[in-house]
């Protein structure tokens, strides 16, 4: 027969290990949390507050200034300017004050979008590919540089037959219209 003390110790071992696992899980949720542009910031702030509540429920303590700094860092990429503004504030801010500021900023952004005054930066990764040509390297003064000589195929309709094929692109003084090679625009 199992006595009460042995039963208590076995239950304590079982649930203390689960407790340590749940602490790690909650901390992982906190660290992995990132805000995205597709959802409203205020709804994501509420999700963040739930995670903070779970951390406090597990018995872990985070200072309010740390919570504010973490929330500022987790703002979405389009809020970069506002994030920098908040980082440069010298006055200590409470979490409630930050949430009020975020709500005001989000309302302003939504009203500007409706009015058509909101300009969001277009961001794209640029990938450039060299089609064909000769590379030459050399030293000019103390700087290394690379020059590119482009040899596009000859085209009859390029500037009435003048194509500057055998000159450097920056030495060609003729006004030449762009030609396309497989859908890519080139200046001959």
- Written as tens digits, the pLDDT of the chain (188 aa) is 578 888 888 887 777 666 667 888 999 999 999 999 999 999 999 999 999 999 999 889 999 999 999 999 999 999 999 999 999 988 889 999 999 999 999 999 999 888 876 555 555 666 555 545 444 555 544 444 444 444 444 444 444 444 555 555 555 555 555 555 555 555 54
Q: For tokens 């696992």, what's the residue?
A: 21
What's 33's DSSP letter?
A: -
Any residues with CB less than 8 A from the CB of 2 and at least 6 apart, and which? none
Closest CA to 166 of 182, 180, 150, 179: 150
């Amino acid at each position: 027969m199992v006595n009460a003390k042995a039963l208590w110790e076995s239950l304590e071992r079982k649930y203390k290990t689960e407790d340590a696992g749940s602490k790690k899980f909650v901390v992982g949720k906190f660290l992995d949390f990132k805000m995205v542009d597709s959802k409203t910031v205020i709804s994501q702030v509420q999700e963040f507050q739930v995670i903070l509540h779970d951390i406090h429920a597990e018995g872990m303590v985070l200072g309010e200034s740390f919570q504010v700094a973490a929330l500022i860092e987790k703002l979405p990429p389009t809020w970069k300017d506002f994030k920098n503004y908040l980082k440069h504030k010298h006055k200590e801010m409470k979490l409630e004050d930050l949430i009020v500021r975020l709500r005001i900023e989000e309302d302003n952004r939504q009203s500007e979008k409706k009015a058509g005054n909101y300009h969001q930066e277009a961001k794209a990764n640029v990938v450039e590919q060299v089609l064909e040509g000769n590379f030459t390297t050399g030293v000019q003064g103390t700087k290394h540089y690379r020059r590119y000589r482009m040899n596009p195929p000859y085209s009859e309709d390029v500037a009435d037959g003048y194509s500057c094929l055998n000159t450097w692109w920056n030495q060609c003084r003729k006004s030449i219209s762009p030609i396309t090679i497989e859908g890519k625009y080139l200046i001959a």
